[in-house]
Amino acid sequence: MASLDLALALSIFLAAALYSSVGHGGSSAYIALMALYGVPAASMKPTALVLNIVVASLGSIRYLRAGLFRWRVLWPFLLGALPFAFLGGAIVLPGHFYRPLVGVILWFSAVRMLWPKHLAAESETSDPPIMPAILAGTVIGFLSGLTGTGGGIFLSPLLLFMAWCAPKQTSGVAALFILANSASGLLGNLTSLQELPASLPLYAGAALAGGLVGTTAGIRFKTVMVVRALGVVLIIAGAKLIGVY
């Protein structure tokens, strides 16, 4: 086994542990890591989606079993997101136009997550109105298609800012949302599966192990720690989109 493969697998493990602690799959981190380790460009997106599905599947099961999920919160966003994720994935925009813009938005969200001021979602929540949630889902789905992510980096801050879901339940909602979006994206381009690397089982095993660590932490950590972890995830994802690393 090549040392670079082992090093990349270890990096994937660490990324999966961090991202899954807030219900995310980690695709933005996986793409950045694969770029750093010289994985062919054609392999990066399908590999990241497969790893996303592995981690999000585990997260969905564990957060569901822990009772940290609300179907009423998820379904309107999912209804709007799935078709527009296909649409976003079919459109190619100049990277210098939309990626920095989205990255800055994520950084602003991260600042609020890391700010010591209390979030309303930590103490009191209400269900999202159905039509606004569906409309927000279309935007999130479109952005996830454009950026090649599962969409959790956009959904989680929205749920918390609007006090539509408690932090730990947000992790469970995000996990199922990401699972559905990632599976949809992969099915939308089955030909990309021919580009999957031979070391995928190693990477998937590392992602699964990281997911076990991360979801355990996400379930057991205090609410404030989950919010802070999300802030760190958003900073990393924003940096990746802006091109800091």
pLDDT, tens digit, for every residue of 132-179?
999 999 999 888 777 767 888 889 989 988 999 998 899 999 999 999
Quickly tell me which residue has 């409309």 as its tokens: 135
Q: What is the DSSP letter of 80?
A: H
Structure tokens at 47: 């590999």
Whole-Å CA distances, 216 to 59, 71, 123, 136: 9, 21, 22, 30
- The pLDDT of residue 48 is 86
**What are the residue ranges spanned by the domains of the chain?**
3-242
d(CA 168, CA 222): 9
Query: Which is more confident, 1 or 167?
Result: 167
d(CA 210, CA 187): 25
Q: pLDDT by residue (tens digit) across 74-103?
A: 999 999 998 888 777 666 556 566 667 667
**Where do runs of H (alpha helix) occur along 91-129?**
95-114
Q: pLDDT by residue (tens digit) across 225-244?
A: 877 888 888 888 778 777 65
d(CA 49, CA 149): 8
Please list, in sequence order, all residues whose beta carbon lies within 8 angstroms of the beta carbon of residue 61, skipping any fewer than 6 positions away. none
Whole-Å CA distances, 99 to 26, 106, 156, 177, 197: 17, 11, 19, 22, 26
* Residue 15 reports pLDDT greater than 80: yes
Q: What is the DSSP letter of 119?
A: P
Within the chain, what is the greatest distance between any pair of CA atoms?
Answer: 51
d(CA 133, CA 107): 22
- The pLDDT of residue 92 is 57
Whether the model clears a pTM of 0.75, i.e. scores above it, the answer is yes
Structure tokens at 29: 């981190």
Q: What percent of the chain has pLDDT over 70?
A: 86
Structure tokens at 221: 């950590």
